[in-house]
Amino acid sequence: MDIQALICFAEVAKRGNYTRAAETLYLSQPQCTRIIKNLERELDIKLINRTSKAFSLTDAGIAFYHEAEKLIQSYNDIFRIVEDVRDCNIGEVRFSSPGVLLDMYFPTVLNQFSEKYPEITFNIKEEGSKLTAMSVLNNEAELGMVMLPIQSSSQFVIKTVIQDVCKLVVRKDHPFAGRSTVNIKELIDERIITFGDTTTLHNSFINMCEIEGFMPNITYKSMMPNFIFDMVSLGKCIAVLPYPLIQHCITENMATVLLEPIFYWDIALIHKKDRYQSFAARKVLDFMYDYFEKLQSQKF
């Protein structure tokens, strides 16, 4: 058994399809099939149930897939460790984050980081918190920035770097505008705009409303702050948004109101547990921990 056979099997298991796995690995479909058959022969056990209409892993195949993934990751880490020692301050970090966090924080973060480590670059993937967590879990990204909570939290190293709240944004002629707080139950008849389905904020807000016994009328969903604030400004809806974003975008004809119960907005940096972190990734984490600690301290 060699590492290429493990890689081929893991790719077939992950995609549930020989042809797509072969394309990813730049193999022909017959080559891919032959590698799996030889692996089963070597192990003397069936790993994949094959029929003309269905594909599934056997019990042995499922167990073997999980162990194969660990070995492949360890194999890749060997080369990354050697590259770290050889290249020192050179590297690329694959980073995933919701776009709103990139807009709010990353121009400054990247500028300051690049001044300190000019040879370390970022490969940034923009996606909602739920998808960011999946990217980190599936090794598609080394580091991620997410709104808490996240699923499978026990599989991550999680450090909260921003603690704030979400508030209502309304036009100044709205009945809520002159108030300091609004109970979430009072939103039952309101037209609301907030982030899209792939975001934790969207799900958390709906969960809060369901606890209070109603489903919110989310009329619009968007990840574009300018669109959201324009819709509020036109009086088409009210918005539920994180306060740091509100501070960036609010205009004179709008007002903010605190929700009751308080809707917390906690942002964390995450990376996968028990996974080797490259020199570049460790430098990014250390830098960002320090950056956000200073940023939070300025609030008090």
Domains of the chain, CATH where assigned? 3-85 (1.10.10.10), 88-161+267-297 (3.40.190.10), 163-266 (3.40.190.290)
CA distance 31 to 39: 12
Q: What is the pLDDT of residue 79?
A: 74
Nearest to 166 by CA among 184, 178, 152, 150: 184
Contact indicator for 159, 150 with CB cutoff of 8 Å: no
Query: Residue 21: pLDDT above 60?
Result: yes
Q: Is the pTM of this model over 0.75?
A: no
How far are the Cα atoms of 48, 53, 84, 239 from residue 166, in angstroms, in the given order?
48, 48, 41, 10
Q: Give the mean pLDDT of 75-80.
A: 77
CA distance 207 to 166: 14
CA distance 192 to 259: 14
Band the pLDDT of 86: cuts 50, 70, 90: low
280: number of CA atoms within 13 Å, CB side?
22
pLDDT digits (tens, 9 = 90+) for 270-300: 999 988 888 889 899 999 999 999 998 887 5
Contact indicator for 223, 195 with CB cutoff of 8 Å: yes
Band the pLDDT of 89: cuts 50, 70, 90: low
Residue 158, phi then psi, degrees to nearest 5:
-125, 125
Q: Tell me the residue type at 263.
A: F
Residues in the chain, total? 300
Q: What is the pLDDT of residue 115?
A: 93
Q: What is the pLDDT of residue 56?
A: 87
Radius of gyration of the chain (CA): 24
* Other residues' Cβ atoms within 10 Å of the Cβ of residue 206: 15
98 prior amide bond cis, ω within 30: no
Residue given tokens 């209409």 in the structure block: 53
Q: What is the pLDDT of residue 87?
A: 56
pLDDT digits (tens, 9 = 90+) for 116-145: 988 888 999 999 899 999 999 999 999 999
